[in-house]
Structures are given as structure tokens and as C-alpha cells.
Amino acid sequence: MRRKNRTGKVVLGMSGGVDSTIAALYLLREGFSVTGVTFRFFEGLCPALNDKDSEVVRRAAGICSKLDIPHMIINAGRDFKSRVVGNFINSYRTGKTPNPCIVCNEYIKFPFLAGVADSIGAEWISTGHYARLIEYDSRIFLAAARDAEKDQSYFLYRVPIKYLRRSIFPLGEKSKNEVREIACENGLTGYISEESQDVCFIPGNNLDSFLEKDITPRPGDVVDSRGGRLGRHRGICFYTVGQRKGLGISASAPLYVKYIDPRLDRITLAEEGELYSRKVLCISTRLRKRNFDIPLEAKIRFRHKAAAVEAVKVEDGKLAVTFLKAQRAVTPGQSLVLYKDGIVLGGGLFSSRRNI
């Protein structure tokens, strides 16, 4: 945690999980006056998710009571449904694969936390994300957490700097094991939920069933990289670049989704070697710099190991990146995030264009 002359009130996003719980504990030990804020995201989506909301609120309220800090409940359901769920569905409708956590951080969690902070006269906001804030080039920048395996800076690259400047990430210097040990030492394990890797608003993690409620699938052709027809698909919303399973196509060699064309409702398949790209194009960019000095690295998805970058060009709001080595399955709708020595310089969403 940065400690540059900071005290006073802080509003903490309290999910009822181990990370936000230990973040609260650290803030209290630093002398902050902490208010826990829990969001209700799912009102109006479905009964099962309303129950999930209630369980999160119950756990978070129990933790705040044990820590003897105020607890607030904020209804963010309407904005969450519009900004996050709506974007998610529209992305799949057009053959893209979105990352809803990135959208939620940009439009919901951090703006709402800042709004609550302003309403109670708190200067600071905080979350249990594994990330850091450091001074670089005489400015505050987002940076990767010390624990590379748990680092969540990728999810935060689109958060506006006006929110990051007033943010505190208490877990940025800690490992996940350290956090769990601290929970055990302080008798907090009984209040802590299991972590989930599922999309939070999809009941039972059944993506196809979820999408079919809002998307009428249109079958189309499946072709090879030369345009030869291989068969039919049941709707582009059910496929993603790099996918192998569930294609329903017989071939002499394994085939993967290489390209999804929403205009023609057509899916192109190719063998493994054709999935790799050195040059990629990003749109909807969020950049902290306009001139980029090599060496740089970039991630093309959350679990991707940052890869060395050969060149970066910014023009007309687009970001063109050339990797030293070709990267597998660059997926439209996902994000590229640029790093220099662990410092986040910006990024953008992969374009649907085939080449640049």
C-alpha cells in the first residue's frame, strides 16, 4: 500500500470474500476510518441471482460487524444490467468475446465507490484487487501486483485515472497465501466465501442458455481458411476464437475457430498453426502515454503471460502492436494491456479486422 501522508475516511468495496475482508483489516491497522460498501448487482435479472445478492450482503454485513465498521448497501442493478450485462450480450451477438469484469470496474465499481465516498465526505476508495499504484514519470500509474499469479491489474486498465488517484489497493504487495494466513490468524475464515471463476451473472455458468434468452441464433456456414464449405453452425454467439470443442465438424486434423464474421454469420476454421498473429489492432483505447519506448510487454488475456513487444503505433484512436513472437488466438472483444516493468501504460479492445 502507498503510505504518502494518508489518513482519514476510506470507502471499501466489501464483497464478503477473503480479499476485501483482509483489505479492510489492513486499512484499519493503517489508521483509516473504514466504511464497507456492498453492491446489489442482480435485482431484476432472475430470482436465483437475487438470492445470490442477498447472500453476498449477509456475508459482508457479518464481516463489517465483526470488524466494527459501518456497512452500506448500494443498489447498482439498473446500471449493472445496462452497462455490463448489456455489453456482454451485444458483444456475443456480434461474434466478440467480452470481459465483463473490465467493464464493471470501469463503469460500475469505481464510479459508484467514488460516489459513495463523496456522499459521506471520504477522500479515499479501496478494493481488494491485487494491484499497485506507483509514481512513474512524475504521475500516478497503475502497476502489477507483487504476486504475479494473482495480479489483477489487467482488469483495471480502463478505470479512469481520476478514480485511481484516490484509490488504495492494500493487497498489492501481498501474496494470496499471505492473505489467507492473515484471515486464519484473525479468526475470519468463517465469514469468507469460496472464490468463483464463473461469470457472476450467469446462473449455473450455462452461457448458451443465458445468451439464448436475448439472442435469436442465426445458423450459418462454417468454412476453411480458403473459403471451402465445411458445414453449418448454430449461431455465432456460441463460438469464440481459438475454440476447438463443440464445432460439429469432422476433419483429418484438429480444427479451431480462427475468425468469426458477423456480417455473413460465417465462421472460419483453421489448424493450430494458423491461429497465431504477430500484428494486432486495438480500438476503444485507454492510454496513459502516446509515445512508447521499447522494451514493452503486453497481455492479450488475463491468464496470458505478458509477451515481448517489438513496436507500438498510435493513430486515429487505434493502437497497433507488433509482438516479437506470434501470439495464439487473438480474440475480438478481449483486451490487450501494455506494461513497462510492470507499470500499466494502457490498452484497448481487439478489433474484428483480420489484418492490419
Q: Which architecture does CATH list for 9-204?
A: 3-Layer(aba) Sandwich (3.40)
Residue holding cell 476453411? 224
Catalytic residue (choose from 64, 104, 237, 282): 104
Q: Residue 43 has what pLDDT?
A: 81
Which tens digit of pLDDT belongs to each residue from 6-32? 669 999 999 989 999 999 999 999 999
Cis peptide before 262 (omega within 30 of 0): no
**What average pLDDT does the segment 201-211 reach?**
93
Question: With 60 as the cut, is the pLDDT of residue 124 above it?
Answer: yes
Question: With 60 as the cut, is the pLDDT of residue 66 above it?
Answer: yes
DSSP class of 304: S
**What average pLDDT does the segment 137-144 reach?**
95
Q: State the cell numbers at 21.
A: 475482508
Report d(CA 251, CA 272) in Å as an integer: 13
Give catalytic status of residue 104 as yes or no. Answer: yes
Which tens digit of pLDDT belongs to each residue from 213-259? 999 999 999 999 999 999 999 999 999 999 999 999 988 899 999 99
Give catalytic status of residue 184 as yes or no. Answer: no
**What average pLDDT does the segment 285-289 reach?**
95
**What average pLDDT does the segment 37-53 reach?**
87
Q: In the CATH scheme, what is the code of domain 219-270?
A: 2.30.30
Strand-pairing partners, residue 140, are: 135
User: What's the count of helices (H) and strands (E) in the chain, helices before strands?
Assistant: 9, 17
Q: Would the CATH topology of 9-204 be identical to that of 219-270? A: no
Q: State the cell numbers at 322.
A: 507488433
Q: Residue 180 has what pLDDT?
A: 87
Report pTM. 0.94
Confidence at 275, pLDDT banded by 50, 70, 90: very high
Catalytic residue (choose from 46, 64, 184, 200): 200
Report d(CA 6, CA 4) in Å as an integer: 6
Nearest-5° angle of CA 165, CA 169, CA 170? 140
On whether the 276-350 domain is CATH 2.60.40.1730, my answer is: no
Q: Strand, helix or coil at 58?
A: helix
Residue holding cell 479468526? 187
Please report, for the chain, the start and end positions of each structural domain, with discontinuous segments joined by +. Answer: 9-204, 219-270, 276-350
Q: What percent of the chain has pLDDT over 70?
A: 95
What DSSP line would sit under 134-177, residue for residue?
EEETTEEEEEE-S-TTT--GGGGTTS-HHHHTTEE-TTTT--HH
Mean pLDDT of the chain: 93
**What average pLDDT does the segment 120-147 reach?**
96
